Structure 1
Amino acid sequence: MKIIRSEVSITEPAFGREISLFEEPEKLLLLDIETTGLSRERSAIYLIGFGHLSGNNIKTVQFFAEHPAEEPVILREGLSFAKSFDILLHYNGKHFDLPFLEYKALKYGTDYPLKKLREFDIYAAIRPLKKLLGLTSLRQREVEGFLNAAGDDPYTGRELIRVYHDYVKAPSDELLSPLLYHNREDILGMLNILPMLRYREILSMTPGYLGHRINSYPGFDGSQKEELIIELSHSLRLPADFRSLNGSVFISFEENRVLIRVPSVQLTLKHFYDNFRDYYYLPFEDTCIHKSAAAGVDKEYREPARRETCYTKASGLFVPGCKTPGFTLFRPEYDSMDEYISLSELNKKEALLSYGTALLKELIDKRT
């Protein structure tokens, strides 16, 4: 077994604001492991890496198994090292690192102190932001790239499995170096992506209204298209500007401005009423009428409304709908998932501000 210690000096770290969220930053322990595969039963842990803050330095401690037979040794020594910390910081460790370590601790009868630590999963914290930020993946390296904080490690964890097997056969510093470097970069990278947490402030922000306009442009088919552009202000201190396209909604976040662009389409749609038992459907007019107003309609021209026929129709320009009070939602049919709002409803800045804010918040996944 090898124990490798290193130290990196930091000045004015980008993550300073986020690290202050933790009561005692020096009691914070970063964790990342390297394994010979994804299966806890068939694969071995060959490297357990930790990182912790010490003044203006980040210290890393790596427990490396020179042979898979040393797995119980690095497990015992690594878990013993973790005992003196209070909070465990990891990236999706809840679904990989921690179950792997706990399984191995049970297998070898080793004390498992990590359950006693509070933990913070960066991956789980930023997962709701994936759609809003237009990220195709939440792999740690992609998130680092989004923040322009990507390292220069050329390897993936999968690629290093073969490097480790080669090391076991013929140990050398040349083979050891990329194994340690990859793990250390993942540990340091966790701190570098902590500023991602600032994007969660979008959910609670109160934007201001700057303006709106209807923009005409030629479509791919040569026809004339229109879009609604809403410009909002914000006072958030985000780590980086971003643009994203979600369905038909385009969003651009800049330093103090948000630009939202949605298509405006000429359609004939239906607004469905929930209390369908209070309505009659008029087949010849293809609409419904409340029973209190149906006294003058002959019985042969009306029938009890069903969920699917309890609607009134409207034609005009529509924009994508959102779940916010105060707007009338329209759909092509009752069971359609596509919802729209009449552009005519967005005729005041209060309505435009409410609509734009709702679009932003709907792009944040609120599931835990």
Structure 2
Amino acid sequence: MEKVVNEAHRSKFQTLEQFYTSEDLLVFDIETTGFTAEHTALYLIGCAYYKNRQWNICQWFNQDGRSEADILEQFLSFAMNYKYVITYNGDGFDIPYITKKAKAYGMENTLAHMESIDIYKQIRFLKDVLHMENMKQKSVERFLGIHRLDKYSGGDLIKVYQEYVKLPVKTNKQLLLQHNYEDLEGLLDCTSMLAYCKFKAGCLLVRKMSVRQNRLLFSLELEYQLPKRLTIGLNDIIITGFQKEATINAPIYTEELKFFFDNYRDYYYLPAEDMAVHKSVASYVDKNYREPAKKETCYLRKKGYFISQIDDGILSGYKRDYEDKESFIELTDSFLQDLDLLHAYARHIIRLALS
């Protein structure tokens, strides 16, 4: 067994301290000769950890093909000092693989006592939002503008490892260690993508509103820094964000809309006035001028200024027709002065846009 320790190169995307206490985190990645733990070998375990105000990378290498148990034991012992384990698709591969190997050797699986943070699972919803071909780690790295020296895939390196065990050549060892090292550095960088998850979760404040060319502009302050510029369209609403600032640009509609009541059986529809009134009031209207309201006719009409809320997520809104899915909020003084409602609207629109 060989143990190699190096410092990780610091990059602007290594912003894990935004989300967690760095000293609690263990970032890890494994290299194997296949996917099935029962029939393949574990030849390299790498982890990144924070110590002395610096991210460091430790690698345990099964250099002779016979040290699998040794590197596993060393890693599991090291891992017991941490609260969280961070991986990229580790819930699907790395952790189950380690779990099976630990069981086979009768070792305590210390990962079982840690909370798993699988970056892939948390950010995969961004594939369509960011127009990405896939959400593999290398694809996310390219999105962030990160360029590797390593040009190999894990599958490519299986043969390199097998050749190294037979004939230890330094350049092959460097290829194996470099690939795992860059996987870990890249994973540290990919954690910056969690800021989009926080954005979707509504970690923001409405700082200002203004009207520009018949559009209502929300200026937002974000709690977490977005690593790359984001622009999304949601119907005619435009959302942009970068670093710790974002905007919602919503068109203002000047028209007559309808507010539909839910309990239509309690209303009469007055065709001459094209409106619904409650039965307690309509009982005084001549029967010839009223009819039982239907879902489609149980409404009041209102002229005013409106913005779309897409659906009825914030308030029971106005619609153009009963069958329409799009719902609108009237821009009344009470709405525009209600900070809680404005925050609710901003969070609702961003959640829908990122879903």
TM interval, short-chain normalised? 0.7 to 0.9
Identify the residue that residue 105 of structure 1 maps to in structure 2. Answer: 102
295 and 162 in structure 1: CA distance in 2 versus 1, 3 angstrom threshold: same
Question: How far apart in 2 are the matches of 1:259 and 1:19?
Answer: 21
Identify the residue that residue 229 of structure 2 maps to in structure 1. Answer: 242
How many aligned positions are there? Answer: 345
44 and 276 in structure 1: CA distance in 2 versus 1, 3 angstrom threshold: farther
Question: How far apart in 1 are the matches of 2:207 and 2:114?
Answer: 42
RMSD over aligned CA atoms reads 4.4
Question: How far apart in 1 are the matches of 2:27 and 2:42?
Answer: 17
Structure 2 residue 169 is the aligned partner of structure 1 residue 180:
no
Identify the residue that residue 167 of structure 1 maps to in structure 2. Answer: 161
- Tell me which of 46, 49, 60 is aligned to 2:57: 60
Identify the residue that residue 327 of structure 2 maps to in structure 1. Answer: 339
Identify the residue that residue 93 of structure 1 maps to in structure 2. Answer: 90
- Tell me which of 183, 187, 191 is aligned to 2:188: 191
Structure 2 residue 285 is the aligned partner of structure 1 residue 291:
no
CA shift, 1:294, in A, is 1.4
- List aligned pairs for 1:1-368, cutoff 5 A: 2-8=1-7, 15=14, 18=17, 21-22=20-21, 25=23, 28-36=25-33, 45-65=42-62, 71=68, 74-123=71-120, 130=126, 134=130, 136=132, 138-145=135-142, 147-148=144-145, 150-153=146-149, 155=151, 159-169=153-163, 172-197=169-194, 200=198, 203-214=202-213, 228-232=215-219, 234=221, 238=225, 240=227, 242-248=229-235, 249-253=237-241, 258-263=246-251, 270-282=258-270, 287-299=275-287, 302-313=290-301, 319-321=307-309, 325=314, 328-330=317-319, 332-334=321-323, 336-342=324-330, 345=332, 350=337, 354-355=341-342, 358-364=345-351
Deviations 1:314-353 (Å, cap 9, x if unpaired)? 578754215565673326434x5432335x5489853799
Question: How far apart in 2 are the matches of 1:237 and 1:87?
Answer: 20
8 Å contact from structure 1 (residues 5, 62) kept in 2: yes
CA shift, 1:163, in A, is 2.7
53 and 173 in structure 1: CA distance in 2 versus 1, 3 angstrom threshold: same
Question: How far apart in 2 are the matches of 1:50 and 1:180?
Answer: 12
Deviations 1:63-100 (Å, cap 9, x if unpaired)? 34468886555434432342344443334433432223
Question: How far apart in 2 are the matches of 1:75 and 1:364?
Answer: 41
Deviations 1:177-202 (Å, cap 9, x if unpaired)? 33322221222233334455556378
- Paired AA for residue 242 in structure 1: R
Which blocks of at least 5 consecutive residues in structure 1 are unaligned? 216-227
8 Å contact from structure 1 (residues 271, 312) kept in 2: yes
Question: How far apart in 2 are the matches of 1:256 and 1:105?
Answer: 43
Identify the residue that residue 224 of structure 1 maps to in structure 2. Answer: none
Corresponding residue SS for 1:30: strand
Percentage of matched positions with identical amino acids: 28
CA shift, 1:11, in A, is 7.1
CA shift, 1:290, in A, is 1.7
Question: How far apart in 1 are the matches of 2:248 and 2:19?
Answer: 33
349 and 86 in structure 1: CA distance in 2 versus 1, 3 angstrom threshold: closer
- Paired AA for residue 49 in structure 1: G
Question: How far apart in 1 are the matches of 2:90 and 2:288?
Answer: 66
Question: How far apart in 2 are the matches of 1:279 and 1:162?
Answer: 71
TM-score by length of 2: 0.73
Corresponding residue SS for 2:322: coil
111 and 70 in structure 1: CA distance in 2 versus 1, 3 angstrom threshold: same
Question: How far apart in 2 are the matches of 1:151 and 1:301?
Answer: 74
CA shift, 1:274, in A, is 1.9
8 Å contact from structure 2 (residues 88, 187) kept in 1: yes
Question: How far apart in 2 are the matches of 1:96 and 1:350?
Answer: 50
- Paired AA for residue 239 in structure 2: I
CA shift, 1:205, in A, is 3.0
TM-score by length of 1: 0.71
Identify the residue that residue 225 of structure 1 maps to in structure 2. Answer: none
Deviations 1:113-171 (Å, cap 9, x if unpaired)? 1112344444566678x4997474654445545555x2414547xx3313313431465
Which blocks of at least 5 consecutive residues in structure 2 are unaligned? none
8 Å contact from structure 2 (residues 32, 158) kept in 1: no
CA shift, 1:18, in A, is 0.8
Question: How far apart in 2 are the matches of 1:303 and 1:20?
Answer: 59
Identify the residue that residue 223 of structure 1 maps to in structure 2. Answer: none
8 Å contact from structure 1 (residues 232, 258) kept in 2: yes
CA shift, 1:292, in A, is 1.9
Corresponding residue SS for 1:48: strand
CA shift, 1:278, in A, is 1.6
CA shift, 1:5, in A, is 0.7
